[in-house]
Amino acid sequence: MKSEADEAGDTSSVPTGVLDFSELDSSIQSFTRRFDDYVQSTIAACEEQRMTADGQRVEDHARIRELERECEATKHAQKELWESVASERDADAKLRASVQELHAQRATLSQRTVSLQSEVAEVRAQMEARSRHKQQLMERLREQVERNAPELAQLQHLTGCVIQPSLREGLIDIRFSLLSEDDPDRAYTVSLDVSKSEYAVAKCDPILPGATIRTLVRQVNASGDVYAFIKQVRRAMIERIRAT
């Protein structure tokens, strides 16, 4: 009986009301909703960032390809520039070589010009000297003719030899007559060229052979004795006439 009473007493000590978890459940649901919202917003933000990163990566790739193309174009342009520079350097080197060659040719021409001027001056001096020599010869001949005028007149009367200037400048005509007893008036003429440093016969009547004339000219050039030349020509003509 005591045990039943004790049990009855223990039963009276147990709470008889029901526990209220509504607030806890509401808090849990609110937390769950906020957590879901946070998760969704975080996922959305991550997706947006991913899309933004993908777009940026596409732009970066496009920019990289553009830079690569620009780099290739720059390399190509730089290659063409170096080739152009090399070509210009080669052309400049050739031009410098041509200029140096022209300078060398100019120096050679200048030296040649100086040499030619010297040669021209020398030739001119020689020509002037020859001209002076010729003038001196002509003057001496005139003086000799004037001095020998009486003798020449007598010579012309006795031998028929007449010396006078030719129509051509630098020539003296020597006319011989009284060579033949049969025809004393027959005259033969020899034209002596005195315009050069050596005497020469410009014209001669065919009475004398060419070999005889050349021999007499060599002799007068060797001796310079024109008087002896005249006598030898007259003697040769007389011998030729007598032989015919």
**Model confidence pLDDT, tens digit, residues 151-184:** 777 777 877 888 888 888 889 899 998 888 888 8
45 Cβ contact list (under 8 Å, min separation 6): none
Q: Which of 216, 238, 237, 240 minimizes the C-alpha distance to 227?
A: 216
What is the amino acid identity at position 111?
Q
Mean pLDDT of 134-138: 80
| Percent of the chain residues topping a pLDDT of 70 | 91
Apex CA 201: angle with CA 195 and CA 206, to 5°? 155
Residue with tokens 């020469």: 200
Q: CA-CA distances (angstroms) from residue 211 to 194, 206, 216? A: 20, 12, 9
Instruction: DSSP for 192-204, please give it.
Output: EE-SSSS-EEEEE
pLDDT per residue as tens digits for the range 9-60? 444 454 545 677 788 888 888 888 888 888 888 888 888 888 888 888 888 8
pLDDT of 149 strictly over 80 = no
Q: Which of 163, 167, 160 minimizes the C-alpha distance to 146?
A: 163
What is the amino acid identity at position 98?
S
Among 3.20.20.80, 3.40.50.720, 3.40.50.10190, 3.30.457.50, what is the CATH number of 160-243? 3.30.457.50
- At residue 201, the pLDDT reads 92
Structural domain boundaries in the chain: 160-243
Cβ contact 173:189 at 8 Å: yes
pLDDT of 3 strictly over 50 = no
Q: Would you place residue 7 in the very low, low, confident or very high pLDDT band (cuts 50, 70, 90)? A: very low
Alpha carbon dihedral 56, 60, 62, 64, in 10-degree steps, equals 180
- At residue 1, the pLDDT reads 41
pLDDT of 5 strictly over 70 = no
The dihedral through the CA atoms of 72, 76, 77, 78 has a sign that is positive
The average confidence (pLDDT) of the chain is: 84
